[in-house]
Structure 1
Amino acid sequence: MVSTLRSMTSATANPGSQSALRRLNEQRIVEALMAGPATQAELARNTGLSNATVSNIVKVLLDSDVVSTEPTTSSGRRALSVRLNSNSAVAVGIDFGRRHLRVVLANLAYEVLAEQTLTLEAGHRADVSISAAVDVLETLVADSGIRREDVIGVGAGIPGPIDHRTGSVAQGAILPGWVGLQILVHLEDRLGLPVFVDNDANLGALSEVTWGPYSGVENLVFVKIGSGIGAGLILNGLPYYGNVGVTGEIGHATIVEHGHVCRCGNRGCLETVASTSTMADLLSRGEPERLTADEIVRRALARNPAALRVIDDAGLAVGRALGNVANLINPEVIVVGGPLAELGEILLDPIRRGLLRHAVPLIGESTTLAMSALGSRSEVLGAAALVFQNADIAHHT
């Protein structure tokens, strides 16, 4: 796990403060304990913290019921073994999609305790969707037997950029009715819990280095291909947010100079040639109903020639855009997620060809390209991880 990951979306984030340093040290202790029980001396060695700091943090975590201790021996000497009480701090992850709502409860051991997914109407209103999320959360907490006081915070993601200066949804979101909404304030008012918000692609990147198989990777790109196309960036072990929080908008990279007008106002953007909406437009001609992303996947897996051609064209375009990204930041890993993840190599192969064609050879050949192992849960699991990276775990009671 990347132990120093921090979000810039918390309303109280101040990386240089004593409280932020204390939370970071507490997180280092908690993450070290995820590997199993350890003595305080072992924790000091594993985290690089002093024995006194570890002792003080363990006392705080013990008082908050985050850990338990018991006497043991180490190298023939009496010692104190520290064990994580993983369910003593529970995070909520909420993923507001274009047509879905997904909610999970997760513990400190990065285990899903409960989850539920709902289908929403296209263009759903924020107040209706937030009310649905509140209802689902309350039901999951009640049905799973989790104490409300053990819920330390809520992470939420939406398919669109968030202006970190204001915490509001910026222009360009897939949910146009949400633009200008201060989602952080709305959710905190309704839930009465600390809330942390981020773009869904950023949360996908975070999930890959916490829940996924890339915990040791410090430079990673997560690209989500859906109704929109966006990328989340992990650079030098930290999420990269740029100046105002709007990064990774590769869906609006120009691919066809005189192409179709994009919803952003430019022409020939990647989204106009490679989004699932564009694929559906192309494949729905002559069909009685508009195809869904699931139907596109089904046809491609059945080797339908038209579906395979559309996916191949889209993959090459995505690979071209990723080649430019790779040339700029030289990531170790590029992970592809979104509703087409089930396609595997059918989608990865053209993306790889596009990447190798447009990246510097050394960069293209040394960059690992993979499909997300987390599937459709990437964003919601990243939202839960966002809570653990930001919430004050030891002082939630």
Structure 2
Amino acid sequence: MPAGRPNTKRDFDGNPPSPGSQSALRQRNQQRVVGVLTGGPQTQAELARQTGLSTATVSNIVKAMVDAGLATTAPTTSSGRRALSVILNDNGSLAAGIDIGRRHVRVVLAGLNYQVMQDEAITLPLGHCAEEGLDAAEQLLDRLLLKAGVTRSSVLGAGVGIPGPIDRRTGTVVQGAILPEWVGINILTTFGERLGFPVFIDNDANLGALAQVTWGPHGSVENLMFLKVGSGIGAGLILGGSVYYGHVGITGELGHSTIVEHGLVCRCGNRGCLETVASTSTMVDLLSRRADGPISVDDLLDLVLAGDTAALRVIDDAGLALGKAVANVANLINPELVVIGGPLTSLGNILLEPIRRGLQRHAVPVVGESTTVLMSALGDRTEALGGAAVVLSQPHLHNV
């Protein structure tokens, strides 16, 4: 587990930290310490050496972790001297991450040591209502708990990702979601009451960004953009080491930025949005026109990887549009890294190259040159992993 996990919601006192605040910094430092401890017990001096933190900072973090039930300490010797060994607790508690999409629900279960214990996805019918989606998520969660040999009482909480904007003041899905049947649903209350443990709701792209710096190789990155390209297009932002939520939580709606001034009408009501040019739905529709019938995203991938000329052109056009949109964000926030996620990640450089060209063409030169664009290495479980990370980053839950 890499160092530098960002804070998502609360510090040790339960207060929401702002990016770059002392509480956010403290949370990131704690995650660096946890990252080292997952490899086994360490003395405080060893923790200081491996994390680069001062001994005083490590001592304060260890004390807070012990108070929260995250760790225990025991006397030991190091180089012939008395020392204090720090041990990461694993009391059997689990965090659940739940990713609900247009056609699927995925659940992962992770322990306090950030090891994934269970992971499974099932298919949902297109256009499913919130009740159907939550029923399926609950049933899958219970099945995985049974496989893990634990009960719901072992679950600290669940982080739930939805492909659409969430009003963080109320926890309600708002207009613009890929799941229009879910608009107005308050998952915090409807699902939390049903499960009997804390539930955290977030946009799936935000959870994807969190997953990159929690389970991906990017833990030390302070400024990252995760771009999920699927039926919809959304971005999650890590700024100053923390997930950025803005005023009410409606951030990263990159799919609804205008790319073609007089383009097609988007589901949001505007014209020429990025989603009308570069979503997988648009790509599939374009290629279905020359086929005997509708094709799937898997068919699209097969055509591209087989070198089909039309499919390659569709991907190239979409990539350039995505790169242009990324450039507009990069000019504003200057991220170190842009990670591409969603069902097209297996295309690798076939998609990355036009995105990079679009970025270079439309970004300020020094921004374009210094921004790295990569594919996510976490696969289909990215957003569910982010949901589990939200729960694991809540120290106050660990001693409930």
Q: So what's the TM-score if we normalise by structure 1?
A: 0.90
Inter-partner Cα distance in structure 1 for 2:214 and 2:80: 36
Inter-partner Cα distance in structure 2 for 1:135 and 1:143: 12
Change (3 A) 1:149 1:386: same
| CA apart distance, 1:6 | 2.0
Inter-partner Cα distance in structure 1 for 2:62 and 2:260: 60
| CA apart distance, 1:35 | 4.3
| CA apart distance, 1:77 | 2.5
1:323 to 321, 327, 331: 327
Which secondary structure does the structure 2 equivalent of 1:209 belong to? helix
Which secondary structure does the structure 1 equivalent of 2:284 belong to? helix
Inter-partner Cα distance in structure 1 for 2:297 and 2:231: 9
Aligned to 1:234: 238
Inter-partner Cα distance in structure 1 for 2:28 and 2:237: 21
Inter-partner Cα distance in structure 1 for 2:71 and 2:58: 17
Do the aligned residues in 2 keep the contact of 1:44 with 1:54 (CA within 8 Å)?
A: no
Which secondary structure does the structure 2 equivalent of 1:217 belong to? coil
Aligned to 2:178: 174
Name whichever of 382-391 and 225-234 sits farther off: 382-391
| CA apart distance, 1:5 | 1.5
Do the aligned residues in 2 keep the contact of 1:184 with 1:195 (CA within 8 Å)?
A: yes
Amino acid at match of 1:2: G
Do the aligned residues in 1 keep the contact of 2:156 with 2:398 (CA within 8 Å)?
A: no
Amino acid at match of 2:247: N
| CA apart distance, 1:103 | 0.4
Task: Report sequence identity in percent.
Answer: 59
Change (3 A) 1:38 1:296: same
2:100 to 96, 99, 109: 96
* Structure 1 position 202 matched with structure 2 position 206: yes
| CA apart distance, 1:305 | 1.1
User: Per-residue displacement from partner, 1:75-132 (whole Å, max 9, x unpaired)?
Assistant: 3223332222446331100000111000000123322111110000111111111111
2:188 to 181, 184, 188: 184
Aligned to 1:107: 111
* Structure 1 position 383 matched with structure 2 position 375: no
* Structure 1 position 263 matched with structure 2 position 285: no
Aligned to 2:247: 243
Aligned to 2:169: 165
Do the aligned residues in 2 keep the contact of 1:204 with 1:232 (CA within 8 Å)?
A: yes
Change (3 A) 1:317 1:109: same
Inter-partner Cα distance in structure 2 for 1:20 and 1:300: 43
Aligned to 1:2: 4
Name whichever of 381-390 and 284-293 sits farther off: 284-293
1:282 to 286, 289, 292: 286
User: Per-residue displacement from partner, 1:242-292 (whole Å, max 9, x unpaired)?
Assistant: 111011111111111111111111100110011001011101114343211
Amino acid at match of 1:156: V
Gaps of 5+ in 1: none
Change (3 A) 1:387 1:58: closer
Amino acid at match of 2:136: A
Do the aligned residues in 2 keep the contact of 1:23 with 1:392 (CA within 8 Å)?
A: no
* Structure 1 position 339 matched with structure 2 position 323: no
Change (3 A) 1:363 1:382: same
| CA apart distance, 1:142 | 1.3
2:305 to 301, 306, 329: 301
Do the aligned residues in 2 keep the contact of 1:161 with 1:171 (CA within 8 Å)?
A: yes
Which secondary structure does the structure 2 equivalent of 1:380 belong to? helix
Gaps of 5+ in 2: none
Inter-partner Cα distance in structure 2 for 1:27 and 1:366: 27
* Structure 1 position 84 matched with structure 2 position 88: yes
Q: So what's the TM-score if we normalise by structure 2?
A: 0.90
* Structure 1 position 364 matched with structure 2 position 368: yes
| CA apart distance, 1:144 | 1.2
RMSD between superposed Cα atoms in Å: 2.5
1:152 to 143, 149, 156: 156
Inter-partner Cα distance in structure 1 for 2:83 and 2:242: 35
* Structure 1 position 223 matched with structure 2 position 227: yes
Which secondary structure does the structure 1 equivalent of 2:144 belong to? helix
Change (3 A) 1:22 1:269: closer
| CA apart distance, 1:32 | 4.5
Which secondary structure does the structure 2 equivalent of 1:321 belong to? helix
Amino acid at match of 2:119: E
Figure out how many residues of one structure are paired with residues of the other and give that number. Answer: 389
Inter-partner Cα distance in structure 2 for 1:51 and 1:146: 33
Inter-partner Cα distance in structure 1 for 2:286 and 2:386: 32
Amino acid at match of 1:357: R
Do the aligned residues in 1 keep the contact of 2:222 with 2:238 (CA within 8 Å)?
A: yes
Inter-partner Cα distance in structure 2 for 1:298 and 1:155: 33
Do the aligned residues in 1 keep the contact of 2:327 with 2:359 (CA within 8 Å)?
A: yes
